[in-house]
Amino acid sequence: MSLETEIARRRTFGIISHPDAGKTTLTEKLLLFGGAIQEAGAVKSNKIKKGATSDFMEIERQRGISVATSVLAFEYNDIKVNILDTPGHKDFAEDTFRTLTAVDSVIVVIDVAKGVEEQTEKLVEVCRMRNIPIIVFINKLDREGKDAFDLLDEIEQKLKLKITPLSFPIGMGYEFKGIFNIWEKNVNIFTGDSKKDIEDTVEITDLADQKLNKLVGDTAADTLREEIELVQGIYPEFNKVDYLKGEQQPVFFGSALNNFGVRELLDCFVQIAPTPRPKQSEERIVKPDETKFSGFVFKIHANMDPNHRNRLAFIKIGSGEFKRNTPYLHVRNKKKMKFSSPNAFFAERKEIVDISYPGDIVGIQDTGNFKIGDSLTEGEILNYKGVPSFSPEHFRYINNADPLKSKQLYKGIDQLMDEGVAQLFTLNLNGRKVIGTVGVLQYEVIQYRLEHEYGAKCSYENLNVHKACWVEPEDEKNSEFEEFKRVKQRFLAKDKQDQLVFLADSMFTLQMTQQKFPTIKFHFTSEFS
């Protein structure tokens, strides 16, 4: 197949939501339809130790939450679908923000009972800033929850989206009878049998058809007719161009656990979702259909197989074809590298691939050459933008709890920081190591993984830091910068990239420092130009 054909059949998207909205369950059901798995894992059941397919780290199985982004791929109706299942918990938001740089569209999952929650608002804001096309999936319809119209209002107001429903529930909660698929003009009857792969679908092009009354009863049929009339009166018709520009968001209803409404979502998604999109680099805009290969690292995962201390760098292909055993330029290191066993993913199951196309995610073995944000090309100097580190919210000293294992501890910290799990700062004054994270739960994850994957133990000590700011002086040789370094010596540190960081102990200190040293810029992300 030609490069254009391969690009046209790819859809790469992320699934985002607040914790517990059913994101991982939805991922599983999409995989079921794609024939990628035969049965769904019992996502949160301790009785069945299967766990969800996309939650493959031991700590995720124990806690029942996703702490790392997983990459899954399958074919559906001759379309190659790449899913990035992201953590919902706010303590792991940085992983999700970075993942959003590698997707071409997203599906936002919303719980029918809880409605729009705080974490969803933050994630959707990032998508809106980048004009990423969004589809909304309102989940858990078989449970008692908010009214459909109230939910739609909430999505419009809180997420500031311009929505248009493409399916609508027939009753909700205990009264839930099924879904009217506005997109395909048919009715899906809910049986409540989660083991059924596909529910009974009855084609009804005209809602006045009496067949509807026989299917769901007179009351439910009359209510549905009124509600659909209201939907058509309030919401605009679906416009694919607006959706692709990020200016209109289709909404689907369903119950992922019961495998209901998922096929409708997937059928519509493969038809309307964008193919791989152009990506901005510092030098120029890179288009997917360019013949020369380029790609960037958006995630690094250590120890995907704990028995072999291996690291995988996840590369999103931006243009051209990525071929096995072909030398490519590592732009930052300015050296050529070739990869003998690039992997395509299915959670922890990996397959070696000979050739990959724009939109695909490839995992390559990494012995410490890669950092998040690195670019690979066929020779051109390209630096992809938009994979920053964010200023952490929490800071602690990390101490070695087992002096005999200091080598393992430093190796473990080094590799976990390369993954972007957290950020490491080394104080200029005394060389002490400080770990900064977006959420407190990250400290537990680091401690757990250091012990179980590296055989090292650590303890933490609190440190009073309000914000980490990356420092950019107007001129490194001027006296103001020298004065800043002298006065603020005990608050200065270097990050892993050897960039200077100011650890401000309060908002007041930061504001005063900004006023006193006007030629110095303070940044809240590590990527500034």
CA atoms within 13 A on the CB side of 134: 34
One domain, residues 146 and 265: yes
What was the pLDDT predicted at 503? 93
Last residue of a domain, one of 252, 272, 292: 272
Does position 353 have pLDDT exceeding 80, yes or no?
yes
Flag the least confident range among 30-39, 285-294, 403-412: 30-39
Length of the chain: 529
The answer as to whether 528 is a domain residue is no
Please state, in angstroms and rounded to a whole number, the distance separating the CA atoms of residues 60 and 111: 21
State both tokens at 346: 């299915």
pLDDT band at 224 (very low <50, low <70, confident <90, very high): confident
Q: Which has the closest alpha carbon to 146: 135, 155, 134?
A: 155
**139: helix, coil or strand?**
strand
Q: How far is CA 371 from the centre of its chain?
A: 18
Query: Does residue 448 share a domain with residue 514?
Result: yes
Residue 438 belongs to domain with CATH number: 3.30.70.3280
Domain-ending residue, one of 352, 377, 402: 377
Q: Is 223 helix (H, G, I), strand (E, B) or coil?
A: helix
Q: Is the dihedral of CA 485, 488, 493, 495 positive or negative?
A: negative
Question: Where does the pLDDT of residue 56 fall: very low under 50, low under 70, confident under 90, or very high at 90 and above?
Answer: very low
Give the full edge-to-edge strand order of the sheet including 492-494: 458-462, 394-400, 433-437, 423-427, 492-494, 500-504, 467-473, 520-523
pLDDT, mean over the chain:
82
Cα dihedral value 294, 295, 296, 300, nearest 10: -140
Same domain, residue pair 63 and 90: yes
Q: Which of 21-25, 320-324, 422-426 has the lowest mean pLDDT?
A: 21-25
In this structure, what CATH number is given to the domain that contains residue 248?
Answer: 3.40.50.300
| Of the listed ranges 38-47, 53-62, 263-272, the one predicted with least confidence | 38-47
Q: What is residue 23's predicted lDDT score, i.e. its pLDDT?
A: 76
Around 429, how many Cα atoms within 13 Å sit in the side-chain half-sphere? 11
Does some domain include residue 384?
Answer: no
My answer on whether 332 and 415 are in the same domain is no
* Phi, psi at 228, each rounded to 5°: -65, -35
Q: What is the mean pLDDT of residues 21-43?
A: 68
Residues 240 and 302 in one domain: no
- Tell me the pLDDT tens digit for each residue of 186-214: 887 877 555 554 456 677 777 777 877 88
pLDDT, tens digit (0-9, with 9 covering 90-100), for 398-444: 999 988 898 999 888 887 887 777 889 999 989 999 999 877 878 88
Instruction: Please check whether residues 411 and 321 belong to one and the same domain.
Output: no
pLDDT in tens, 488-505: 998 999 988 888 999 999
Indicate whether 264 pLDDT > 70: yes
What does the pLDDT read at residue 182?
87
What percent of the chain has pLDDT above 70? 84
- CA 72 to each of CA 24, 52, 228: distance values in angstroms, whole numbers, following the listed order: 12, 12, 36
Side chain identity at residue 524, one-letter code: F
Instruction: Using the predicted structure, report yes or no on whether residue 384 has a pLDDT greater than 90.
Output: no
Given this model, what pLDDT does residue 45 score?
35
Residue 254 sits in the same domain as residue 294: no
The mean pLDDT of 220-244, rounded to a whole number, is 90
The model's confidence at residue 302, banded by pLDDT at 50, 70 and 90, is: low
Look at residue 385 and tell me if it is in a domain: no
10 Å CB burial of residue 112 (0-12, 13-18, 19+) is buried
Mean per-residue pLDDT, 16-27: 80
Q: Are 248 and 194 in contact (CB under 8 A)?
A: no
Mind listing the pLDDT tens digit for each residue in 123-142?
888 788 778 999 999 998 88
Query: What does the DSSP assignment read for 324-378?
Result: TT--EEETTTTEEE--S--EEEETTEEEE-SEE-TT-EEEEEESS---TT-EEES
d(CA 17, CA 23): 7
Structural domain contains residue 199: no
Number of domains making up the chain? 3
Question: At CA 295, angle to CA 291 and CA 298, rounded to 5?
Answer: 160
35 plus 150 within the same structural domain: yes
Which of residues 344, 377, 410 is at a domain's end? 377
125 lies in the same domain as 26: yes
pLDDT band at 458 (very low <50, low <70, confident <90, very high): very high
The DSSP-derived string for 278-299 is PEEBSSSEEPTT-SS-EEEEEE
Same domain? For 88 and 166 the reply is: yes
One domain, residues 289 and 173:
no
For position 323, what pLDDT does the model report?
A: 92
Q: What is the reported pLDDT for 11?
A: 93
Indicate whether 223 belongs to any domain: no
Supply the pLDDT for residue 41.
47
Sign of CA dihedral 27, 32, 38, 42: positive
Poorest-pLDDT segment among 17-26, 48-57, 100-109, 214-223: 48-57
| Cα(292)–Cα(335) distance, integer angstroms | 17
pLDDT for res 46: 33
Q: Residue 511 corresponds to which amino acid?
A: Q
* 215 within a domain of the structure (yes/no): no
Phi first, then psi, for residue 169 (nearest 5°) are: -75, 145
Q: At what angle do helices 118-129 and 148-159 cross, to 10 degrees?
A: 60
Least confident residue range of 60-69, 104-113, 126-135, 473-482: 60-69
Query: How confident is the model over 32-52, as a mean pLDDT?
Result: 48
Q: How far apart are CA 389 and CA 98, in angstroms?
A: 8
Q: How far apart are CA 412 and CA 86, in angstroms?
A: 23
- Mean pLDDT for 166-175 is 86
85 contacts 27 by C-beta, under 8 angstroms: yes
Query: Do the domain assignments include residue 204?
Result: no
Higher pLDDT, 418 or 449: 449
Q: What is the mean pLDDT of residues 435-462?
A: 87
Using pLDDT thresholds of 50, 70 and 90, give the confidence band for residue 309: low
The reply to whether 114 and 129 lie within a common domain is yes
For residue 527, the model assigns a pLDDT of 66
pLDDT of residue 73: 83
The single-letter DSSP state of residue 388 is P
Confirm whether 203 is domain-assigned.
no
Question: Does the pLDDT at position 356 exceed 60?
Answer: yes
CA end-to-end span of the chain: 40
Domain extent for 292: 279-377
Least confident of 136-140, 368-372, 379-383, 417-421: 417-421
